[in-house]
Amino acid sequence: MNTEIPELGRFAEPALLILVSLSDGPKHGYAIMTDVEAGTGRPMGPGTLYGALARLEERGLVEALPPVDRRRPYRLTGVGETVLTEQLQQLEAFARLGLRRLGQVR
Protein backbone atom coordinates (compact mmCIF):
# COMPACT_ATOMS: atom_id res chain seq x y z
CA MET A 1 0.00 0.00 0.00
CA ASN A 2 1.30 3.46 -0.86
CA THR A 3 0.55 5.92 1.94
CA GLU A 4 2.96 8.56 0.68
CA ILE A 5 1.95 11.70 -1.14
CA PRO A 6 3.61 11.07 -4.49
CA GLU A 7 7.19 12.28 -5.07
CA LEU A 8 7.63 14.03 -1.75
CA GLY A 9 10.04 11.47 -0.32
CA ARG A 10 10.97 12.26 3.26
CA PHE A 11 8.64 15.25 3.22
CA ALA A 12 5.61 13.02 2.67
CA GLU A 13 4.67 12.81 6.34
CA PRO A 14 5.15 16.53 7.16
CA ALA A 15 3.23 17.35 3.97
CA LEU A 16 0.32 15.18 5.07
CA LEU A 17 0.31 16.87 8.48
CA ILE A 18 0.30 20.29 6.80
CA LEU A 19 -2.57 19.33 4.50
CA VAL A 20 -4.59 18.10 7.49
CA SER A 21 -3.81 21.31 9.33
CA LEU A 22 -5.08 23.38 6.39
CA SER A 23 -8.20 21.24 5.94
CA ASP A 24 -10.27 23.45 8.29
CA GLY A 25 -9.17 26.73 6.74
CA PRO A 26 -6.15 28.86 5.75
CA LYS A 27 -3.24 29.21 8.18
CA HIS A 28 0.13 30.89 8.13
CA GLY A 29 3.40 29.07 8.82
CA TYR A 30 3.58 29.48 12.58
CA ALA A 31 -0.10 28.56 13.01
CA ILE A 32 0.49 25.37 11.02
CA MET A 33 3.47 24.49 13.25
CA THR A 34 1.52 24.93 16.47
CA ASP A 35 -1.53 23.15 15.05
CA VAL A 36 0.56 20.14 13.98
CA GLU A 37 2.30 20.08 17.35
CA ALA A 38 -1.05 20.19 19.15
CA GLY A 39 -2.47 17.44 16.96
CA THR A 40 0.45 15.01 17.00
CA GLY A 41 2.31 15.91 20.19
CA ARG A 42 5.50 16.23 18.15
CA PRO A 43 7.11 19.51 17.13
CA MET A 44 7.59 20.34 13.46
CA GLY A 45 10.71 22.45 12.83
CA PRO A 46 10.57 25.53 10.60
CA GLY A 47 13.02 24.00 8.09
CA THR A 48 10.84 20.92 7.71
CA LEU A 49 7.69 23.03 7.53
CA TYR A 50 8.94 25.21 4.68
CA GLY A 51 10.63 22.32 2.85
CA ALA A 52 7.27 20.54 2.73
CA LEU A 53 5.25 23.70 2.14
CA ALA A 54 7.38 24.65 -0.88
CA ARG A 55 6.88 21.22 -2.42
CA LEU A 56 3.14 21.28 -1.79
CA GLU A 57 2.94 24.70 -3.43
CA GLU A 58 4.97 23.53 -6.46
CA ARG A 59 2.57 20.64 -6.95
CA GLY A 60 -0.47 22.87 -6.65
CA LEU A 61 -1.77 21.15 -3.52
CA VAL A 62 -1.70 24.37 -1.48
CA GLU A 63 -1.68 28.00 -2.52
CA ALA A 64 -0.38 31.12 -0.85
CA LEU A 65 -2.74 33.96 -0.04
CA PRO A 66 -1.72 37.64 0.13
CA PRO A 67 0.52 38.23 3.17
CA VAL A 68 -0.81 39.86 6.30
CA ASP A 69 2.11 41.82 7.76
CA ARG A 70 4.97 39.37 7.27
CA ARG A 71 2.79 36.30 7.70
CA ARG A 72 1.52 34.62 4.58
CA PRO A 73 -1.48 32.31 4.96
CA TYR A 74 -1.81 29.14 2.88
CA ARG A 75 -4.90 27.25 1.91
CA LEU A 76 -5.75 23.89 0.35
CA THR A 77 -6.48 23.86 -3.37
CA GLY A 78 -9.13 21.63 -4.93
CA VAL A 79 -6.42 19.19 -6.00
CA GLY A 80 -4.93 19.31 -2.50
CA GLU A 81 -8.29 18.45 -1.00
CA THR A 82 -8.69 15.48 -3.35
CA VAL A 83 -5.18 14.20 -2.65
CA LEU A 84 -5.68 14.60 1.09
CA THR A 85 -9.01 12.76 1.00
CA GLU A 86 -7.41 9.87 -0.89
CA GLN A 87 -4.48 9.73 1.50
CA LEU A 88 -6.69 9.71 4.56
CA GLN A 89 -8.96 7.04 3.07
CA GLN A 90 -5.92 4.86 2.38
CA LEU A 91 -4.64 5.40 5.89
CA GLU A 92 -8.06 4.63 7.33
CA ALA A 93 -8.26 1.37 5.37
CA PHE A 94 -4.74 0.49 6.50
CA ALA A 95 -5.55 1.29 10.13
CA ARG A 96 -8.70 -0.83 9.96
CA LEU A 97 -6.72 -3.73 8.53
CA GLY A 98 -4.17 -3.49 11.32
CA LEU A 99 -6.80 -3.24 14.05
CA ARG A 100 -8.76 -6.14 12.58
CA ARG A 101 -5.64 -8.28 12.62
CA LEU A 102 -5.09 -7.31 16.22
CA GLY A 103 -8.66 -8.32 17.00
CA GLN A 104 -9.53 -4.79 18.10
CA VAL A 105 -12.40 -4.39 15.63
CA ARG A 106 -14.57 -6.82 13.67
Partner 1 sequence: MIRSALLRCYPARWRARYGDEFASVLEERPLGPFEVADVLLGAIDAHLHLRGLDAASEHRKGFVMSLRIGGFAALFGGLFWFIGLAGASATDADGLFAGLAVAATISLLVAMAGLSAFQARRYPRVTWAAFGLPAVGAIVSLVGMYGMFTVGDAPVVGSVSPWEIWMAGTLSMVVGSGLFAIVTWQARSLSRPAATLLGAAAVATILIVPTLAGLSSFLPEAFASVASVVVLLGFAAGWAGLGVSALRLDRARPTLEATPS
Region binding partner 1 by CB under 8 A among candidate stretches 17-25, 26-34, 84-92, 93-101: 26-34
Distance CA 20, CA 98 (A): 22
From candidates 41, 47, 66, 103, binder to partner 1 by CB under 8 A = 47
Kindly tell me which residue out of 24, 66, 70, 106 binds partner 1, with binding defined by CB under 8 A.
Answer: 70
54 is a contact residue toward partner 1 (CB under 8 A):
yes
Site residues (CB under 8 A) for partner 1? 7, 28-30, 33, 43, 45-51, 53-55, 58-60, 67, 69-72
